[in-house]
Amino acid sequence: MGAAGCAGGGGGDYPEGDIEIMAPADPGGGWDQTARAMQRALTEGGVVEENVEVYNVGGAGGTIGLAQFVNDHAGDPNQLMVMGLVMVGAIHLNDSPVDLSQPTPIASLITEWEGIVVPSGSEYRSLKELLEDFKADPESVSWAGGSAGSTDQILAGLLAREVGVDPARVNYVAHSGGGEANAAILSGSVTAGVSGLAEFMDQVRAGKMRLLAVSSGERIEGVDAPTLKELGYDLVVPNWRGVMAPPDIEEEDRQAITDMIREMRATSVWKKTLRQNDWTDFFKTGEEFAAYIKEENRRVERLLQDMDLTK
């Protein structure tokens, strides 16, 4: 019996058998990082004695993985899936037949801030220089980021609006995983990159990328970059991630999973990961998390319509 079962969860002996966590994207991105951080915290943190495995199902902003998760794993409490704001937008853009009303909400976990980078050999030393060329000729500046409709693309569209460019003219190059996007930025095949800070910081610290700005409201401790607001752009753009269980699980299992995640959140392993990745704790469970997802769905749908990304 794992520690979660001992913690008073209604599921008694939960988990019975190994836990599998789906990262619904290719390796190297934020969902993959979050799933593997959960894996470490659950096992190394002593929350469960069972094996915890992470697997990747990439494509279409997480909606391919979401459909597989909902259709193939209904009723199985040992299956979990990382998700977040990116998936909310992708569901609209891909006309996904499966949406976030179907899986079982467990908890939101973290928020992180976005970063805007260029390769270290770029001519652009500041965001102002980059956006001047972008304003003059929007299509000449290409932006690498995550999937279509992601927080990354939304931020690029909001920046366009800030400098008077039609968001529909953003030359955004979508990638299914952070590793793929980083490779495009480092090779110089795109002008700039926009994504979660954790996906860039290793390259920034190694001197391979230049961090031009972050999307936080205030400067981030340990990160040498100005905020968008500091540079005169009225934008504060957070990303968030959470975890869900499949549809049709028993209520006692939902409670046991929630207790397990709550215990995971309290481990020193998880807290260390938050510090290392510049993630901010953002914990909501049950009905509060479900209500938050519904509100985010409404907000993102309106924003994508404003950006001419959906009808």
More confident residue, 49 or 11: 49
More confident residue, 300 or 77: 77
Q: Rounded CA gap, 27 and 23, in Å?
A: 8
Using DSSP's 3-state secondary structure scheme, residue 123 falls into coil
More confident residue, 222 or 125: 125
Is the pLDDT at 2 greater than 50? The verdict is: no
Torsions phi, psi for 262 (to 5 deg): -65, -40
Query: Interior CA angle at 69 toward 239 and 59, to 5°?
Result: 60
Q: How many CB atoms lie within 10 A of CB 276?
A: 11
Domain with residues 112-214, CATH architecture: 3-Layer(aba) Sandwich (3.40)
Per the DSSP assignment, residues forming a β-bridge with 23 are: 56
**At 168, is the pLDDT very low, low, confident or very high (cuts 50, 70, 90)?**
confident
Distance of CA 15 to the CA centre of its chain: 26
Burial letters 221-240, b for 16+ CB under 10 A, else e: eebebbbbbebebebebbbb
| β-strands 19-23, 171-174 pairing | unpaired
DSSP string, 254-287: HHHHHHHHHHHHTSHHHHHHHHHHTEEEEEEEHH
**At 12, is the pLDDT very low, low, confident or very high (cuts 50, 70, 90)?**
low
Is the pLDDT at 14 greater than 80? The verdict is: yes
Is the pLDDT at 306 greater than 90? The verdict is: no
How do residues 234-276 score in pLDDT, each as one tens digit? 999 989 999 999 999 999 999 999 999 999 999 999 999 999 9
Check if the beta carbon of residue 34 is closer than 8 Å to that of residue 47: no
Nearest to 103 by CA among 242, 233, 214, 8: 242
Using DSSP's 3-state secondary structure scheme, residue 249 falls into coil
**At 177, is the pLDDT very low, low, confident or very high (cuts 50, 70, 90)?**
confident
Check if the beta carbon of residue 144 is closer than 8 Å to that of residue 184: yes
Is the pLDDT at 201 greater than 60? The verdict is: yes
Helices (H), the chain: 3-6, 30-44, 63-72, 85-93, 127-136, 151-162, 178-187, 197-205, 251-265, 268-277, 286-306
Exposed/middle/buried for residue 217 (C-beta within 10 Å: 0-12, 13-18, 19+): middle
Q: Rounded CA gap, 99 and 53, in Å?
A: 24
Q: What is the overall mean pLDDT for the chain?
A: 93
Q: Rounded CA gap, 189 and 223, in Å?
A: 26
Is the pLDDT at 307 greater than 90? The verdict is: no
Q: Rounded CA gap, 158 and 278, in Å?
A: 23
Nearest to 34 by CA among 196, 152, 175: 196
Is the pLDDT at 11 greater than 50? The verdict is: no
Q: What is the dihedral of CA 44, 48, 50, 51, to 10 degrees?
A: -40
Is the pLDDT at 170 greater than 90? The verdict is: yes
- The percentage of residues in the chain with a pLDDT greater than 70, rounded to a whole number, is 96
Identify the DSSP state of 8: T
Inter-helix orientation angle 85-93/151-162, to 10°: 80
pLDDT at 6: 40
| β-strands 52-56, 19-23 pairing | parallel
Do 112-214 and 3-111+240-306 have the same topology in CATH? yes
Assigned fold of 3-111+240-306:
D-Maltodextrin-Binding Protein; domain 2 (3.40.190)
Would you kindly state where each structural domain of the chain is located, as residue ranges?
3-111+240-306, 112-214
Inter-helix orientation angle 178-187/30-44, to 10°: 130
Amino acid at 165: V
